[in-house]
Chain A
């Protein structure tokens, strides 16, 4: 049912040298959904996103929009409509905000469309509009995060992968960023997959949570369902026992 799922990850395995970091991870991202992968440090969250975006060699099967993409080059994957926002706010420090945003449109010829997308992104991120001529390196942390998300948006992605958008941001800014992501999903129909350390920050905004620990999917489900039981807590910290399929805690 590739029509309902923008992304299907099946049995994804990654090893750095002899160290296996992902032991067969499988999950789907429904089209038009905002999904969060949550897990502690070293769970394999970043590796998972990098592998999907083509930055890390991996085994298994990844289908984006029904097409297998594992093994393609990062820039080819980006051009097919999957945009990756790596961790750590990678702005182009010497380019202006506007130039940062326009980079994503250079590879396609459609100019009027690019202008419209620029206006659209600036509508979503009014703070960027105020700083349109400033160098990307001179922005605050929150603004830089918005800039990289806005830049990813300029490539007209069907799916955005965002690695730890809340890292190093004040709680109020995190709320702001997630509110915008939520609106992008509802109003533009962009599917979004984020990584986060803390499930608490994303609970109110996402459609689905996937708990990853020790390179395995421990649990997945809707935040409202997960909130009811202790399963989320158990899955995250590895305490207690639970049923992996249903997410129900087993005592």
Chain B
């Protein structure tokens, strides 16, 4: 094809327009999380709640990388959290050296007597979860939309049953304790920022664009030369890797793990956070976590009792779950595409231009 005639104006770079607009999103999100952490610590808020929120940001942002960009719902991602958490255990457990050979007799000899520094355990979690996600993704992404979703659920159930019964290596139904605790508000916020940055880089890369093109119209994407299976597998792997890091964070925050923790309740909570925030944007993923964490936190305060004048106002237990469900229904009624509705946060959207 010969270019004929000259176009005088370049439409791609109009000053600091589009590129600046896109860079703002991860900046706004990270600043927002940083402020939440700072303000909460200044007012003596619970460091636990903040850390827990940051871990969930990592999980939901990880989930978003695949679900948001591909449009395929995944029920299987908490498996990668489990895989990440146990990889962390295998590499970095325990604070008491004799615990591992005692509890995890099935572990290979070279893993039995090591307790590597936590960052290496975290890295190992990312690598193992990512590697499993590549294999699982390469297989599942041969399926289309709904079939793929159901298959992710089957994967979750299979992985759960496998780890439950792999007693020599995972401890089975037993609780493993004495893990090194290294995740607090600061580390949590840092890793959440890293997850946001990676998700944003993926979303703005050609892989992100091709993936969303396939989400909008698979036939046309193939016709444009997009290898749909490949871009989906890439996103699934990256997404599994990030969620795996979330698993190691969970283990390195609580200091304990059980296979039980990584199953349906967390699957549905993370999906609810993504959908309430708006699964079609990175800002939606982060806002969903912040919003639902705020709702649960406020309800928890009420449950434990709030002093009003001379008396204590205390609401019945179980209100947290009911309130959470109610909040989800309300958001879905009034904003079916989630709080963000597919939009990204920018500085301009927080402080509108005069």
Contacts and interface: CB of A to CB of B under 8 A. Distances in A.
A associates with B: yes
A188 B220 contact: no
B223 interface: yes
A97 to B, nearest CB: 10
Interface string B213-232: 10111011111111110000
Given A94-B280, A132-B11, A148 B4 contact: no
B212 interface: yes
B220 A148 contact: yes
B2 interface: yes
A245 B213 CA distance: 44
A69 interface: no
B342 interface: yes
B210 A86 contact: no
Contact of B223 (A86, A117, A129): A86
B222 A75 contact: yes
B1 to A, nearest CB: 5
A175 interface: no
B4 A74 contact: no
Interface size of B as a range: 20 to 34
A190 to B, nearest CB: 7
A74 B220 contact: no
A118 B209 CA distance: 17
A53 interface: yes
A59 B165 CA distance: 51
B206 interface: yes
Contacts of B226: 75, 103, 106-107
Contacts of A79: 225
Interface stretch (A14-22, A38-46, A149-157, A228-236): A149-157
Contacts of B223: 53, 74, 78, 83-86, 90, 152
Interface string A60-94: 00000000000000110011000111100011111
Interface of B: 1-5, 7, 11-12, 18, 206, 209-210, 212-213, 215-217, 219-228, 280, 342
Interface of A: 53, 55, 74-75, 78-79, 83-86, 90-95, 98-100, 102-104, 106-107, 115-120, 122-123, 129, 132-133, 136, 148, 151-153, 155-156, 187-190
